[in-house]
A = this chain, B = another copy of it.
Amino acid sequence: MNTNSTARHKAHAAVLKAMAHASRLVIIEALATKDHCVCELAALVGADMSTVSKHLSTLRNAGIISDTKRGTSVICHLKCPCVLSFLACVTDVLKTNAREQMDLVA
Q: Quote the shortest CB–CB distance from A21 to chain B (angstroms).
A: 5
Interface contact B13-A25, CB-CB below 8 Å: yes
A15 to B86, CA, bound (A): 10
Copies of this protein in the complex: 2
Count of residues in A whose CB is under 8 Å from the partner chain? 42
Q: Considering residues A16, A26, A87, A97, which has the most beta carbons from chain B within 10 angstroms of its beta carbon?
A: A16
16 further contact pairs, Cβ within 8 A, besides A63-B96, A83-B89: A1-B46, A6-B22, A9-B25, A10-B22, A12-B22, A12-B90, A15-B94, A16-B17, A16-B20, A16-B86, A20-B20, A64-B93, A79-B93, A79-B96, A80-B89, A80-B92
